Structure 1
């Protein structure tokens, strides 16, 4: 016996799953709420099961509904892939994408990517997980994120790491700090001033400890933080200077913060896309991946080149 439901019913089901509300789902697929309810009822009758538990205040998936949801999502994603080669479906696509990213990249680079992506796909929801480098790997390997943006992953057998760009570490300081007007600063010179550092849970700390084995600070840092973005706020408040990745710095027009290239040695890190091996991206995630590849040429590279010019 044939199964009596169609694409519209599956799209209605996905909309309710993603939005958690019959009202919002009806608005998303541009039909009335009674019409959407009828589509869900038709799907449930065709499958012979209840997919949702509905009360006056909430909508939740039943156990069967939770099992069915990934299959429905895969069917719609497969159709989306086919349609991409036939016609422009940008304005009508409804889906979601989850990206895991280290905060130092998420703060200044990804907002422009997300804004551009939202203009192209206004009905696709983006979830950004700002995590440590190790947590980014875990989110990708565990399937919590479609892919990650980080500086760690090339040694993990379960993931692929595709380099986007390289960036160097710079000394971040206030514009009124004694180091601010130098063309370059050695690590030893920076450590002569009060400085901040990231703690041992940070991937940046591991990278710097390995690169600076021969450079020993004369005194401990005045404060440790877990994330570079937090450290920048402390620098702005006048607590000292710090070594940060160049991409984490705000633009050259920032009224308070500036940076100076660090030398002896020059320390760089590679930023890349982290993906789980053998796991294809959904159409929504594939489009976000393309957006990153395009945006890094117009955003990240000029930012990096400005730091290189400062060092020359």
Structure 2
């Protein structure tokens, strides 16, 4: 399987049967037989070949991330076994929503202290992109805010992260410790795009509250960090998850709790149904669960 997978990756990377055959030290007929063997095993055509180009089929595009990761992990495992002077180790691949990076480094630091030398490949992706990366096998698992409703994924809760108000310290609302959502009416609000996972969670929760809110969503941004930049500039106030706010005292930004209703997003681990994590990824997964089940989220 490894030879067949490596064969397919080489063909896709080089977009040429001839170049791939030379790289793999194979004749073109032998390379074609390997591709046909892989397609027979999968039960679908994976590569379309014309006189001018080579391109993956739809099934081939779906399998490409998984095949690449399988090849990478196989090679990492071999290097880890042979050690080659201690320069190579296993690698963990995961996808994480960007705001998770406020708590993820602490766990990774503890993991590195216990298991030194294991490398990380972390993709900071939007919620929907992260789910796709897990589903297509590009990563072993993900840290996400959505996924519980997808039949092809398993979602395990880590923490509840409340939405809060972020405003400049000289803003009239900054003096309050806690505000109702109604208090935001009339102020220019900074929000993330409606297509984002955070906005989906927020809009759904407010709609479920059963009463309309006269909120002035004046600015729309793609990233939470951008919204905080606009807050610093005094252009408006922002509703953001607590984990997206500065985790230490900030000279310009104040954070105020919001309730009535209390809106939270659930951060959890996302895995493919029926998948089996590598030993290293399984250890990291357990450390994440242990950390947050012991109340280490700091929220």
State the match for 2:212 in structure 1: 215
State the match for 1:17 in structure 2: none
Where does the alignment leave 5 or more consecutive residues of structure 2 unmatched? Answer: 1-20, 26-30, 35-63
CA 1:73–1:103 in structure 2 vs 1: closer, same or farther (change >3 Å)? closer
Residue deviations 1:190-225, cap 9 Å, x none?
232221011111011111111212333353x23111
CA 1:183–1:68 in structure 2 vs 1: closer, same or farther (change >3 Å)? closer
CA 1:70–1:207 in structure 2 vs 1: closer, same or farther (change >3 Å)? closer
* Residues 69 and 139, structure 2, Cα contact 8 Å, conserved in 1: no
Instruction: Please give the secondary structure, in 1, of the residue aligned with 2:147.
Output: coil
- Residues of 1 paired with 2:96 and 2:77: CA distance? 24
State the match for 1:94 in structure 2: 89
| Candidates 275, 279, 285, aligned match of 1:279 | 275
Please list, as runs of the form range in 1=range in 2, the aligned pairs for 1:12-161 lying within 5 A after superposition: 70=70, 73-74=73-74, 94-106=89-101, 108-161=102-155
- Residues of 2 paired with 1:51 and 1:124: CA distance? 29
State the match for 1:288 in structure 2: 284
| Candidates 163, 176, 199, aligned match of 1:182 | 176
Count matched residues: 237
- Residues of 2 paired with 1:149 and 1:69: CA distance? 18
Where does the alignment leave 5 or more consecutive residues of structure 1 unmatched? Answer: 1-48, 54-61, 84-90, 305-312
* Residues 163 and 270, structure 1, Cα contact 8 Å, conserved in 2: yes
- Residues of 2 paired with 1:159 and 1:72: CA distance? 23
Residue deviations 1:238-282, cap 9 Å, x none?
221111111222124222222111111111111100000111111
Instruction: Please give the secondary structure, in 2, of the residue aligned with 1:164.
Output: strand
- Residues of 1 paired with 2:88 and 2:292: CA distance? 25
Give the CA RMSD over aligned residues: 3.5
- Residues of 2 paired with 1:275 and 1:176: CA distance? 44
Please list, as runs of the form range in 1=range in 2, the aligned pairs for 1:190-209 lying within 5 A after superposition: 190-209=184-203
CA 1:68–1:189 in structure 2 vs 1: closer, same or farther (change >3 Å)? closer
Report the alpha carbon displacement of residue 73 of structure 1 after superposing the two structures with TM. 4.1
Instruction: Please give the secondary structure, in 1, of the residue aligned with 2:164.
Output: strand
Residue deviations 1:106-132, cap 9 Å, x none?
2x1122233333344443221111111
Report the alpha carbon displacement of residue 152 of structure 1 after superposing the two structures with TM. 0.4
Report the alpha carbon displacement of residue 147 of structure 1 after superposing the two structures with TM. 0.5
1:269 aligns with 2:270: no
Residue deviations 1:143-188, cap 9 Å, x none?
1111111110111111110001112111111222211110211112
- Residues of 2 paired with 1:280 and 1:202: CA distance? 29
- Residues of 2 paired with 1:144 and 1:68: CA distance? 8
State the match for 2:245 in structure 1: 249
- Residues of 2 paired with 1:68 and 1:185: CA distance? 49
CA 1:70–1:267 in structure 2 vs 1: closer, same or farther (change >3 Å)? closer
| Candidates 230, 233, 236, aligned match of 2:229 | 233
Q: TM-score, normalised by structure 1?
A: 0.66
